[in-house]
Amino acid sequence: MYRSPVSLDWRFPGFIVKCAKRTTLPYSPDTSLSLMQPTQLILVALIAFAAGFVQTVAGFGSALLGMPLLVAVVGIQIASPLVAMLGVALEMVLILRYREHMHVAVVGKLVAAAAVGIPLGIYAVKNIDQRIVLGVLAVVLVGYGIYGLSKFALPKLEGNGWTFGLGFIAGVLGGAYNTAGPPVIMYGHARRWPTAQFKGNLQGFFLPVSFFVVAGHFLAHTVTPVVWQSFAVSLIPLFLGIWLGGLAERGIDAERFRKLVLVLLIILGASLIL
């Protein structure tokens, strides 16, 4: 039987998840599609919808939000390749909106560095104790949430060393948790990217990185039948979330929504280690 690193403890409406002792799920990643429970499929679909909605409205957060929630539902071995595959679908849609503002030279350097780090992240998820893996994910979520809320002004970064260094770190986090965003977002703040270029560069970075992460998971044989089943169930809710997010962003206070997402990330991160 497959051993999940977490069990569900939904203590508040919606999204608060508690990491608990390992529990045996009634399916194995290597078994047939019919063994995924209907309740799990519904939760996976709802999380995909929320990820698409949040990414469209806030411009970030699909993986940061989706990973801890999916880990609680299906475990990190399934959540990691699933979020990467959903990321490809999501970014292929969003890149059409922001491609004109992308700075190709900078994005290319970040992607090249990330490509080196991605295999290390995938290796970590597959081979390192999952308590350690989840602990690092918690630190990333809480740390980025605090950074985003603090409005801490980073010093201006110059030179390719920062570009390649933070790109590499983003690749490691992307390979392990599909959370390549925080280092690149911090890099963009430190380089003082204008808002339009900021969104364009992020989408231009996320799309190839998601492709590389998915390719790495295929090579590592972590894309199992259950992952494919979850991906198929998630696609329509994901695109529905993107569509509704596009409609809603005109009437939503973007800054207030961004802060709400950051607070949620802190709570989710803390729940993984409490």
**Helix ranges restricted to H, 99-159:** 104-127, 130-150
d(CA 264, CA 166): 25
In this prediction, residue 41 carries a pLDDT of: 92
Q: pLDDT grade, residue 48 (50/70/90)?
A: very high
What does the pLDDT average to over 91-115? Answer: 86
Q: pLDDT grade, residue 239 (50/70/90)?
A: very high
In this prediction, residue 35 carries a pLDDT of: 58
200-209, pLDDT tens digit by residue?
888 889 889 9
How many other CB atoms are found less than 10 A from the CB of residue 26? 11
Q: Which residues of 128-154 are buried (b: 16+ CB within 10 A; e: fewer)?
A: eebeebbebbbebbbebbebbeeeeee
Q: pLDDT grade, residue 3 (50/70/90)?
A: very low
More confident call, 27 vs 165: 165
Q: pLDDT grade, residue 44 (50/70/90)?
A: very high
**Per-domain residue ranges for the chain?**
3-271
Q: Residue 164 pLDDT more than 80?
A: yes
At what angle are helices 76-98 and 225-248 packed, to 10 degrees? Answer: 40
Q: Residue 23 pLDDT more than 70?
A: no
Token representation of residue 101: 């503002």
Q: Residue 101 pLDDT more than 80?
A: no
For 8, the 3-state DSSP assignment is coil
What value does the mean pLDDT of the chain take? 81
Q: Would you say 183 and 121 are in contact if contact means Cβ atoms under 8 Å apart?
A: no
Nearest CA among 74, 71, 70, 80 for reference residue 49:
70
60-86, pLDDT tens digit by residue?
778 888 888 998 898 888 998 999 999
138-160, pLDDT tens digit by residue?
888 898 888 888 877 777 777 78
Q: Residue 105 pLDDT more than 90?
A: no
pTM confidence score: 0.76
Q: Residue 195 pLDDT more than 80?
A: no
In this prediction, residue 85 carries a pLDDT of: 94
Q: Residue 26 pLDDT more than 60?
A: no
More confident call, 232 vs 188: 232
Token representation of residue 131: 């308590």
Strand partners, 3: 24
In this prediction, residue 232 carries a pLDDT of: 94
